[in-house]
Amino acid sequence: MSIPPLFLLHAPDGFLSTPIAAVMWLVTVLALAVAVRRADANLDEKAVPLMGVMAAFVFAAQMFNFQVAGGTSGHLMGGVLVAVLLGPWAGTLVMACVIAVQALVFQDGGLVVMGANIFNMGVVGTFGGYLLYRVLATVLGGEKRARLPAAAIAAWLSVVIAAVLVSFQLALSDTTSLRVALPAMVGVHALIGIGEAVITVAALSFIAATRGDLLHIARPALAGQGSQQ
Amino acid sequence: MSTLSLDRYLARESAIHAADARLKFIATAGFILALSLLPVGAFAALALAWAAVVIASAAARVGWLRTTTGAFFALPFLLAAAPLVFTRQADPLGEVDLRLFTLTVSGEGLKMFATIALKSWVSVQAALLLSFTTPFHELVDALRRLRLPSLMVAIISFMYRYIAVLAEESSRMMRARAARSASRDGHTGGSVIWRAKVVGSMVGSLFLRAYERSERVYAAMQSRGFSGEIRHMGGRKLRSGEWLALGTVAAGLSGFSVAARLWFPTA
């Protein structure tokens, strides 16, 4: 079985001009190189299987679909969720691997344009989403109290911003007209983003209710302090 | 029941199957890059490229129909390029009356749209051929040998091992949800937000199962002597014949790109 295309964010090959694709690859490779260094520097050995299984988790979690309207269905992107659970560096790497495997195995997203796809969803959608989450949590009164509203807004924005980026990349590639594509993409993804926000919040509150310790442990496990279990 | 396998590999005996995964990966990426470089309206070059994929699929004995039809599902993205047909001004072909306003179909826009659609279609076929002829573990090993950071190689290898398990877990959860959610045809219970919340709880539950599984995996690895480093078989260097093949492919693709710009007819 194949996974339905993740909204219109997994661009296939042919849709971005070569210069745009090349620039996006360059930025993505740099960002991932930093993420690998930062994650490598404070990994404990337990983190390697954890990150691998988490990549499989994101992939499997994207299979949960729910009916929206008229036969279309929505599902999770998961960038902010993973970053909140695993931390931004590990989250970014996990998302990048998920996007790469989706392209290599299921042709869900292209190879030459993969740099752009990883940038939009893995770098901006995950790392950027996490930064937003932290800023919002601080502004709204601390991560403990404001975790859910901050995650909701960050999750919504991560999808909308990814859609804005895709629109600009397409327009700069002469593949679409920004005047038409930007409002359409942002409009559709503003709705899809609500689903992302609700799923992210429900997942976090489920985890907080059943294994609240994991909201704190998953990150130390990746930060070299070992798990307290 | 649905089991999801990362392997779309079709076991056949062919030279393409036997070739080193590094060669296949580089050739596929290069081929798609060459397609990406084609100018608007390079339909002759696209036809030639498609013929090459068809011949390669036949040589790999996977059947060209399989790659050709397998590539259609990537097309929904074409919606994103559809505005081109109406927003370009050059070479108006006709008008579509939508009562509120009229849209002018532009020949130039149509040509750009067709180029994008065909590029994407042929590219997907090439990528499909790669996954039909290369077992996933060989592909991951090729990426490792092509200097993908070892942390990412490790993540992808673990992902490959556990994806079927977790996908199975998530389809069991969806089946359980379906079993609890009787509804009349064409009706769905609850509001959209409520349904999304249900999915959120399922995601949370799946996370816990995955997390606990990763702990068991780690314990199993530790008991087998895992010390934090994943060791790989040495692997061999490319042979001179393979370097020659790589050079031929590179020369062929460069020649194709240049010819497509200079000599091939464009519409």
Condensed to tens digits (0 to 9), the pLDDT of residues B97-128 reads 666 677 778 888 888 899 999 999 999 999 99
Contact B240, B17 (CB under 8 A): no
Average pLDDT over residues B137-156: 91
Neighbouring CB atoms inside 10 A of B39's CB total 11
Pick from A92, A98, A134, A130: nearest CA to A114: A98
Cα-Cα end-to-end distance for chain B: 49
- Say what the pTM is: 0.89
Q: Is A104 in contact with B162 (Cβ distance < 8 A)? A: no
Which B residues in the span 39-98 are in contact with A, Cβ-Cβ below 8 Å?
Answer: 70-71, 73-74, 76-77, 79-84, 87
Looking at chain B, which residue has its C-alpha nearest residue A3? B4
- The CA distance from A221 to A214, in Å, is 10
Contact B230, B154 (CB under 8 A): yes
Q: Is B79 in contact with A8 (Cβ distance < 8 A)? A: yes
Domains of chain A: residue spans and CATH:
18-222 (1.10.1760.20)
State yes or no: pLDDT of B237 exceeds 60: yes
| ipTM score of complex | 0.89
Cβ–Cβ contact A18 with B under 8 A: yes
pLDDT in tens, A12-28: 898 999 999 999 999 99
How many angstroms separate the CA of residue A18 from the nearest CA in chain B? 6
**C-alpha angle with apex B16: B12 to B21, nearest 5 degrees?**
105
What pLDDT band is residue B252 in, cutting at 50, 70 and 90?
A: very high
CB pairs A-B closer than 8 Å: 282
Cβ–Cβ contact B136 with A under 8 A: yes
- The CA distance from A21 to A26, in Å, is 9
Q: B152: which chain A residues are within 8 Å (Cβ-Cβ)?
A: 32, 36, 93, 96-97
How many angstroms separate the CA of residue A105 from the nearest CA in chain B? 6
How many angstroms separate the CA of residue A150 from the nearest CA in chain B? 16
The rounded Cα A83 to chain-centroid distance in angstroms is: 8
Cβ–Cβ contact A192 with B under 8 A: no
Q: Is B203 in contact with A61 (Cβ distance < 8 A)? A: yes
Cβ–Cβ contact B161 with A under 8 A: yes
What pLDDT band is residue A133 in, cutting at 50, 70 and 90?
A: very high
